[in-house]
Structure 1
Amino acid sequence: MRKIKNLNEIIDDYDAILSDVWGVVHNGIEPFKTSVQALKAARDKGKKVILITNAPSPSSQVIDHLKYKIGAGDDFYDDIITSGDVAKTIIDGWHDKKCFHLGLRDSDTEAVQPGFEELVDLDRADYVLCTFLARTDEVDVKDYLPLLKTMKQKGLPFLCSNPDAVVDVGGTLYYCAGTLAQMYEEIDGEVIYTGKPHDTIYQEALKKLAALDSADIKPQKILIIGDSLSTDVPGANRLGADMLFVADGIHAREFEQAYVAGDMNVFSPEFMTFIEERIKLRSVKVQYYIAQLA
């Protein structure tokens, strides 16, 4: 795992980038300016940049969020694919199926789920949609277990439109649908994942990449950028692409909560050991390591 200071050190080895958004481009509140500039500089060199995110909302909504709420602009990428896009495609094909929604009823759910006002209770549902939950310090996910067991008894598939376990919003951790999806799998429930690290979203990203470039870009010429050892890294490994791990992301927040009071150094021996142990535990490979994309 090679430590680098900026993307420019390695970008000439690649023709395209698939970059995570939350934790790499922004923290849910404001943009990481050096990250935006780095991706823009890559595009200026002729590299194609596709944003690939586990956001449970459609790409059109994420584009507006990036530009108008986060303030990151729209000139640092060529296209975007979201877990919500994949979920919406699946739901659009389930014309006669009724949905029970699990989690917060927010704009993400309304955008993905047609006829949001027609959501039904669990007894009438054909499937369960989960998008987003709550702050990790406000709920105990074990409280969902009785509900999950009822879903399993009814044989309901769980459509997980955000496979992330948690997300960092300005330094505060929130549970995502992936946490409950993992619990549902542990009791042998059927889960349909629409985002990273699963194959469908990467295949959709490759289609978007092909539409931008007449040349067939091989995975070996694609660099994947992300901050999650659970989603971004295994996704890169499965695709056969190299991985640039952004250290000052979700795992840094977890490390801070568990071990550190105040600011931390992502190049410290303690944090490096923390990350290396998790890489080994997950049996994944990381080619490059950077504090924050720059």
Structure 2
Amino acid sequence: MNASAPLLVSGLQDIAPEYSAVLCDVWGVLHNGVSRFAGAAEALTDFRQKAGGAVVLITNAPRRNAPIREQLLALGIGPEVYDDIVTSGDVTREYIAAHPGAKVLHIGPEMHLSLYEDLDLTLTESEEEATLVSCTGLFNDEQETPDDYRDQLERLAKRGLTMICANPDIVVERGDRLIWCAGALARLFEDFGGTVAILGKPHAPIYDAACQRLEALRGAPVDRQKILCVGDGLPTDIRGAVSQDLDVLFITGGIHASDFGPTLEPDEALVRRRLAEEGLRARAAVPRLVW
């Protein structure tokens, strides 16, 4: 990050000519779980159509990509916006598949059970029988907090079980509220001495999977210096991009918006200071994703 160059840009078009592909976060960039953000989907469409670039959505959603496509379509975000989707659920399935015959204790809502379809495993509600813990979230994230899981997580950690965290996010926006995610439970599990396998952002497996999708789309190896990541979460999107040595466009109006002043007019000095405090960098920043 060049300290003398402006960090805040007017939109994706300001830096688009430098890149041939975008790996874009979904929740917090394209929508807030309730409604789409104006201009975000159009920015990706323009990148594909005007700049000739490829777009792979990369999300920590603990589900397979098909339900994410359906959710996006319901929010008015169609297939013209992106070329492919890679989810934390997708790479989690690959991890579980490498442990055939596992007895899996699922922590999370019933709607996430489709994650395990067609895998060689047995879902169990017995902590004593479980050989693996898979956490996709809280059972009721509207009412519960991580503290409601302390006793169970402590017992499971003492058993020496590995927890697969299918959604590394600590919180996400849902409308105008912040909702606890599986990452918060994984953090608590680690506090009790438990081992956690995290495959989504900011860790390498989901980026490797996304780059493989890009190569399949292009029919050739992808120059990682020509890939731009887009995201709003410092511990996931931004740290993940930096750890993979990928450039990133920081969306400041997401979960960290309150740290930078008015959401649509962030203080660049505050953004720079926060990135420095976190030991992170960004190619550029913008309040909301727009072209």
Q: What is the TM-score of this pair, normalised by structure 2?
A: 0.90
**Aligned to 2:39, what secondary structure does the other structure show?**
helix
Q: Deviations over 1:215-264 (max 9, x none)?
A: 42221111100000010111111221111001111112xx28xx99xxx3
Does 2:199 match 1:194? yes
Which of 114, 117, 133 aligns to 2:117? It is 114
Aligned length: 282
- Paired residues for 1:153-172 under 5 Å: 153-172=158-177
Partner residue in 2 for 1:133: 138
TM-superposed CA distance for 1:138, in Å, is: 3.4
Shift of 1:266: 4.4
Name the aligned partner's letter for residue 96 of structure 2. I
Contact 2:104-2:122 within 8 A present in 1 as well: no
1: CA distance, partners of 2:106 / 2:223? 39
Change (3 A) 1:251 1:137: farther
Aligned partners of 1:98 and 1:120 also within 8 Å: no
The DSSP-based 3-state class of the residue aligned with 1:30 is coil
Q: Which residue does the alignment assign to 1:47?
A: 53
Match of 2:287 in 1: 291
Provide the residue aligned with 1:281 in structure 2.
277
* TM superposition shift of 1:141: 2.0
| Map 1:58-77 → 2, pairs under 5 A | 58-67=64-73, 69-77=74-82
Percent identical: 35
Cα pair 2:103 2:122 within 8 Å, conserved:
no
Q: 1:5–1:76: structure 2 CA closer, same or farther, 3 Å change rule?
A: same
In structure 1, runs of 5+ residues without a counterpart are none
Contact persistence 2:101–2:122 (CA under 8 A): no
Deviation, 1:175, is 0.6
Residue 18 (structure 2) pairs with residue 6 (structure 1): no
User: What SS does the aligned partner of 1:250 have?
Assistant: coil
Report the 3-state secondary structure (helix = DSSP H, G, I; strand = E; otherwise coil) of the residue aligned with 2:151.
helix
Question: Residues 42, 268 of structure 1: CA spacing in aligned structure 2 closer, same or farther, 3 A cutoff?
Answer: closer
- Corresponding residue for residue 143 of structure 1: 148
Indicate the larger mover: 83-92 or 48-57.
83-92
Write out aligned runs for 1:202-221 (5 A): 202-221=207-226
Cα distance, 1:288 vs structure 2: 0.6
User: Which one-letter code corresponds to 2:110 in the other structure?
Assistant: D
Q: TM-score when scaled to structure 1?
A: 0.89
Q: Secondary structure at the match of 1:237?
A: helix
The CA RMSD measured in Å over matched residues stands at 2.2
**Cα separation, 1, equivalents of 2:249 and 2:122:** 41
Secondary structure at the aligned position of 1:150 is classed as: helix
- Greater displacement, 146-155 / 157-166: 146-155
* CA distance 1:152–1:117, shift in 2 (3 Å): closer
Structure 2 unaligned blocks of 5 or more: 2-6
State the distance in 1 between where 2:48 and 2:125 align: 45
Who is 1:267 aligned against? Answer: 265
| Distance (whole Å) between structure 2 residues aligned to residue 73 and residue 232 of structure 1 | 23
Classify 1:135/1:170 alpha carbon distance in 2 versus 1 (closer, same or farther; 3 Å): farther
